[in-house]
A and B are shown apart, each in its own frame.
Chain A
């Protein structure tokens, strides 16, 4: 059997935890610094030193979301068989297509700092598309199998 380079099944819960932990931290930050990250980074105080508090906070929260999504996306299913592998690859292709379609559309119809924000979103958007699509097809697969059970009692 070929190695599939996936994280253990339980690591998805760690990923969900990281994303949940990130929410109150981000809310607290937004409460104390309502002007947001961009303004802090453009101010004279924060440009003096690369690892300033706002930048460290940004790295921390972005990493939490990114690692969280990564663990959810690439943790094994309970039974990681060849059909799941195919669905995983299909979903990944679908996510990349959709992401680049949105990216191209956005780059054409936005400019300046808006474009930067869209590029920033692209750090985690493909992972989010992948997770949503992959979980949706697994849900449909399970539903189909369950409805078959009720029809045949096997």
Chain B
């Protein structure tokens, strides 16, 4: 699963720590999600999408290997 978290963060001029604070996880977790090392739970994906005012599908997309 890929994501455009770092792009959305750059648009909003947010640091990883800012986003982590808003969704209640560690900065390391945001880093892991951005580098595709960790797939967030539905709850966390929804929280992240809400911060950026977008739907989950706009931020997280399935890749061919996930299908």
Please list the residues of chain A having a beta carbon within 8 angstroms of any beta carbon in chain B: 78-79, 81-84, 86, 141-142, 144-145, 148, 154
Q: List 17 A-B contacts (CB under 8 A).
A: A78-B26, A81-B24, A81-B26, A81-B29, A82-B29, A82-B40, A83-B28, A83-B38, A84-B26, A84-B29, A144-B35, A145-B16, A145-B27, A145-B31, A145-B32, A148-B31, A154-B9
> In the assembly, what is the distance between CA of A86 and CA of B29, in Å?
11
Q: Indicate which residue in A81, A86, A144 contacts B31 across the interface (CB closer than 8 Å).
A: A144
> In the assembly, what is the distance between CA of A72 and CA of B53, in Å?
40
User: Chain B residue with minimal CB distance to A141?
Assistant: B28
User: Size range of the interface on B?
Assistant: 10 to 19
| Chain B residues within 8 Å of A83, by CB | 25-26, 28-29, 32, 38
| Chain B residues within 8 Å of A154, by CB | 9, 15-16
> In the assembly, what is the distance between CA of A145 and CA of B28, in Å?
6
Q: Mark B33-55, 1 if CB is under 8 A from A, else 0.
A: 00101101100100000000000
Is A141 in contact with B15, judged by CB distance below 8 angstroms? no
| Chain A residues within 8 Å of B44, by CB | 82
> In the assembly, what is the distance between CA of A35 and CA of B16, in Å?
58
| Chain A residues within 8 Å of B15, by CB | 154
Is B32 in contact with A141, judged by CB distance below 8 angstroms? yes
